[in-house]
Chain A
Amino acid sequence: MKKNFTSPAGRAFLALVLVFIIGSIFNADGAFFKLGTHRDTLREMSVYGILACGMTMVIISGGIDLSVGSILALAAVCSAKMAIHWGYSGWLVLPACLIIGGLCGAVSGFLTARLQIQPFIATLAMMVLARGLSKYASGGMKVSTAIANPDGTYRYVNVPPFFQDIDHRILGGSFSVVTLIFIACVLLGWLLMSKHRVGRYLYAIGGNEESSRLSGVPVVGTKIFAYAMSGMFAAMAGICQAAQEQQGDPEAGVGYELIAIAMVVIGGTSLMGGRGGMGLTLLGVLTIGYLDKILSINAVPEAGRLVLTGIIIVIAVLTQRRRRT
Chain B
Amino acid sequence: MNMKLIKILAYPSLVLAVIALTVGCRKSEDTQKANSPASSPPSQKQFVIGMSQCNLGEPWRVQMNADIAAAAAKHPELKVIFKDAQNDTLQQRAQVEEFAGSKVDLIIISPKEAQPLTEPVAEAMDAGIPVIVLDRRLLGGKYTCFIGANNEKIGKAAGEWIVKALGGKGNVVELMGLQTSTPGQDRHKGFLEGIAGSNIKVIFQADMQWLEPRARDEMESALARYDNINLVYAHNDDGAHGAYLAAKAAGRDKQMKFVGIDALPQEGIAYVKQGILDATFQYPTGGAEAIDTALKILHGQAVPKEIVLGTRLFDAQNVAQGGEDLK
Contacts and interface: CB of A to CB of B under 8 A. Distances in A.
Nearest to A73: B10
A171 interface: no
A124 B216 CA distance: 29
A293 interface: yes
A296 B245 contact: no
Nearest to A173: B251
A34 interface: yes
A31 B266 contact: no
A152 B225 CA distance: 42
B9 interface: yes
Chain B: number of interface residues, binned into ranges: 35 or more
A142 interface: yes
A44 B213 CA distance: 9
Interface string A25-43: 0001101001011001000
Interface string A226-254: 00000000000000010011100101101
B3 interface: yes
Contacts of A302: 179, 207, 209
- Residue from B59, B205, B224 whose CB has the most chain A CB atoms within 10 Å: B224
Interface in A181-221: none
A249 B212 contact: yes
B13 interface: yes
B6 A297 contact: no
A146 B265 CA distance: 9
A142 B267 CA distance: 8
A43 to B, nearest CB: 8
Interface residues of A, number: 48
B84 to A, nearest CB: 10
A301 B250 CA distance: 24
A180 interface: no
Interface stretch (A87-95, A130-138, A313-321): A130-138
B182 to A, nearest CB: 16
A31 B218 CA distance: 13
A128 B57 contact: no
Interface in B23-72: 56-57, 59, 62, 70
Contacts of A40: 217, 220-221, 224
Contacts of B218: 296
B260 interface: no
Contact of B206 (A34, A241, A299): A299
Contacts of B12: 128
B281 to A, nearest CB: 18
B302 interface: no
B2 interface: yes
A255 B57 contact: no
A252 B245 CA distance: 17
B170 to A, nearest CB: 19
B270 interface: yes
A85 interface: no
A124 B2 CA distance: 13
A137 to B, nearest CB: 10
A120 interface: no
B273 A140 contact: no
Give 9 closest A-B pairs by Cβ, nearest first: A132-B13, A146-B270, A40-B220, A296-B221, A302-B207, A31-B225, A128-B13, A31-B224, A297-B221
15 contacts: A37-B224, A128-B9, A128-B13, A135-B57, A140-B57, A141-B266, A142-B59, A146-B270, A241-B213, A246-B245, A251-B57, A254-B6, A293-B217, A299-B205, A299-B221
